[in-house]
Structure 1
Amino acid sequence: MPQPTLVIKGGRLVDATGVRSGDVVVGDDGSILAVGPDLDAPEVLDAGGCVVSPGFVDVHTHLREPGKEEAETIETGARGAAAGGYTCILAMPNTTPAIDSAAVVREVLELGRSAPCDVRTSGAITVGRAGEQLAPIAEMAKLGVRFFTDDGTGVQDTRLMRRAMEYASALDVVLAQHCEDDAMAGGGHMHEGEWSSRLGIAGQPAEAEELMVMRDIALARLTGARIHFQHLSTEGSVAMVRAAKDGGMDLTCEATTHHFTLTDECCATYDAVFKVNPPLRTADDVAAVRAGLADGTIDCIATDHAPHTPDAKEQPFDEAPPGMLGLETALGLALTELDLDLEEVVALLSWRPAQLLGVEDRHGGPIIEGRRANLCVFDPEEEWTVDADTMHSRSRNTPYAGRRLRGRVRHTLLEGEPVLRSGEVTR
């Protein structure tokens, strides 16, 4: 019989079943042994004034390993994830080499075994993410890979994308698309509009994203494939997905924290920390993304955590790589910036992405006896200031440095082990 090791005491439990008060006893087998009032165990984790929720799940994380370990490793990225309340993250395949074969999948999964977070990996849709030849999706699927994407680039060849969807349908896996038409976006470094004109920076029009969203909705309708749209950023994209869902299509999509908190005006300083792909858009686009999160058009919040070394981000705006950190600030940004109930925010960060990723057997489930103890404890009212120098990532490229946020993670439990205890990563 499993023995109790610790109790999370005095918290408010929030999960898909609702909100209630109670203590949570965790056993030495990594499971939840009991939930109720006035429970005891050898060790106490204080949750007074805090919310106890299922751990957060990120369906869009760049861990850079293999190949760009100077910016991030699986270990350092997972430490940042634990600090942000995440118990499961999905690594993107735009590494060097790309995660486009069973061998690289095995390498990433092995590197993640000792991490303070459950590290899953996606696989590339095409070999080398070059958009020319389908990757061995079935081989990667046999290793448990369920998400396939060429993230960083969209699959440009319509016929090839149709073949990928038909193949994916037979394997019951999800294709996740970075929606960007290269012919429209090529040479652009920020959103095309008033601010790109003022700054003299070549822009990417909203239509570069929207054309591919439109195409892939049509292809999904034709093939019956499960398609997931990554980091939607424009009003038009959100509207098209909403209409497709209203029409009965089984589509999913995500929005990042930066696309509901920042606009293209941030680029006025020419600071490349604000360069991201897809680019920061207009205030109307931000409002549309927020509305999509509120009405369920957008299924979950993703971070698109994209670390880069200081040298890379200190280059001129048009030469610097796109991307920004996201794992450690996601909760605070969502609670501070979104006009949503607490339960809705937790749903967007936890059980909805868990269901989308297919990990709801271990993550994002109800806090009840017998479930795995993958949990997050956070103070929804604590105010704190983002400090790039204290983040766990190897990189420092956060656009939120100095920003005051509300809501901070206190403890994170992975399989019953406190990998974040009182704000300190312990593994």
Structure 2
Amino acid sequence: MPVPESPSIVIKGGRVIDATGERTADVVVVDGRITAVGADLSADRTLDASGCIVAPGLVDIHTHLREPGKEEAETVETGARGAALGGYTAILAMPNTTPAMDSAAVVQQVLDLGRTAPCDVYASGAITVGRAGEQLAPMAEMAALGVRLFTDDGAGVQSNAMMRRAMEYATGLGVTLAQHCEDDALCGGGHMHEGEWSARLGIPGQPAEAEELMVMRDIALARLTGCRVHFQHMSTTRSVAMIREAIAAGLPVTAEATTHHFTLTHAECASYDPLYKVNPPLRTADDVAAVKAGLADGTIGIIATDHAPHAAETKELPFDQAPPGMLGLETALALALTELDLPVQQVLAALSWNPARVIGVGDTHGLPVAEGNPANLCVIDPEAAWTVDGAAMASRSTNTPYQGRELKGRVRHTLLAGEPVVVGGEAQR
């Protein structure tokens, strides 16, 4: 007996924007795939997209889900729900969990937790055992589970020789290494950017050079080994300039910027509020301008959230004791649309199809809105005005630095494999 088709859905009256361009069209979805894109289409169920943009689902290359180990701050389920509300259909979980995702067993645990989540949850793997920088993790075993990006995020691999070995190993596996660029010898004991505000406030700082030295080293090692290297949360003027030169030279490097590194500066720390403590730290206005310029010219091809939830009692500690990190999944799209003077298509590229390619999920996410492709989609109202409220977010944590900030642009619907997981701005599961 044939299995009946699921009810068809039409996303009606929207403006489709994807990597191929822009057009006004309805989109019909049946059994997880797009079956028609055109004018005056109908289906069993209608999702209103009038005044909205219909786009490939967003992809976050840098999400901290905390599970296993710190479920009081976030779980895979709550993080994924926040992602869906933010328009994401895929997120990449970072490996600095407890225990670290440095083995096939822990990677498999996270993948299993994500199977029923309202967005696709992918796993990164640690470069070194325990993210301690001393012994290579079994990358081949994790790659066999589909891991395509490895990072010790939260810590940079300090040893030049270890990083070279990791790159040579990764090249043979065909995977990408991502680096949290931070020289411990230069920034140890620092809690914000080293500059005029750290001097005024009496808070030990981290110099921009702590990031830039590792960027310089890893560009050189990418040249030596041919390894694909992705630079995480770039934050300084000279880092952006070095990556620009590396790309121009044809090296296999990519880079991301977080929303907070193009919307906030170290002056925010004048309040001594740990909500503004993040790693790498908030930098100068000139650095923010350089990051924006890198996004504009494509040097930085990806906008990442670095979604980093923390339990309230830890973020209420004194500045020098509180952990670094901010929420990001539900505000990233609106911050990008509000703060960046870029064409919408370029913003969507940085949030969707560019990161999808880097983490190896471009066969299912970030694809053009076209007949036959998987229906991983988001519908965005670019004119919707709203006020950020950490307590109203899906996360178990509330540590957003944008509390009370007015933003423009909000997700109306999100579809994962054709299933509406967010409808009218409300999570469906």
After TM superposition, the score normalised by the length of structure 1 is 0.99
One-letter code of the match for 2:231?
F
CA deviations over 1:368-421 (Å, ceiling 9, x no partner): 111000000010111111011110000000000100001000000000011001
Per-residue deviation, 1:4:
5.0
User: Equivalent residue for 2:367?
Assistant: 365
The aligned runs of 1:7-406 (5 Å cut-off) are: 7-27=10-30, 29-406=31-408
Q: Partners in 1 of 2:100 and 2:351 — Cα distance?
A: 27
One-letter code of the match for 2:277?
K
Q: Is the contact between residue 308 and residue 395 of structure 1 (CA under 8 Å) also seen in structure 2?
A: yes
Q: Which consecutive aligned stretches of 4+ in structure 1 deviate over 3 angstroms post-superposition? A: 1-4
Could you list the runs of 5+ residues in structure 1 that have no partner in the other structure?
none
Does 2:428 align with 1:426? Answer: yes
Alignment root-mean-square deviation, CA: 0.7
Q: Secondary structure at the match of 1:44?
A: strand
One-letter code of the match for 2:153?
D
Q: Partners in 2 of 1:54 and 1:245 — Cα distance?
A: 26
Per-residue deviation, 1:247:
1.3
Q: Partners in 1 of 2:5 and 2:124 — Cα distance?
A: 34
Per-residue deviation, 1:216:
0.5
Per-residue deviation, 1:210:
0.2
Could you list the runs of 5+ residues in structure 2 that have no partner in the other structure?
none
CA deviations over 1:84-130 (Å, ceiling 9, x no partner): 00000000000000000000011000000000000001000000001
Q: Partners in 2 of 1:158 and 1:316 — Cα distance?
A: 34
Say which is worse superposed, 353-362 or 412-421, in terms of deviation. 353-362
Q: Is the contact between residue 4 and residue 33 of structure 1 (CA under 8 Å) also seen in structure 2?
A: no
Percent of aligned positions with the same letter in both sequences?
73
Q: Secondary structure at the match of 1:135?
A: coil
After TM superposition, the score normalised by the length of structure 2 is 0.99
Per-residue deviation, 1:355:
1.2
One-letter code of the match for 1:5?
S
Q: Partners in 2 of 1:164 and 1:3 — Cα distance?
A: 46
Q: Partners in 2 of 1:23 and 1:167 — Cα distance?
A: 47
One-letter code of the match for 1:403?
R
Q: Partners in 1 of 2:358 and 2:180 — Cα distance?
A: 17
Q: Secondary structure at the match of 1:60?
A: strand
Per-residue deviation, 1:133:
0.1
CA deviations over 1:31-81 (Å, ceiling 9, x no partner): 111111111111100000000000000000000000000000000000000
Q: Partners in 1 of 2:110 and 2:6 — Cα distance?
A: 33
Q: Partners in 1 of 2:384 and 2:245 — Cα distance?
A: 38
One-letter code of the match for 1:421?
V
Q: Is the contact between residue 149 and residue 176 of structure 1 (CA under 8 Å) also seen in structure 2?
A: yes
Provide the aligned length of Structure 1 versus Structure 2.
426
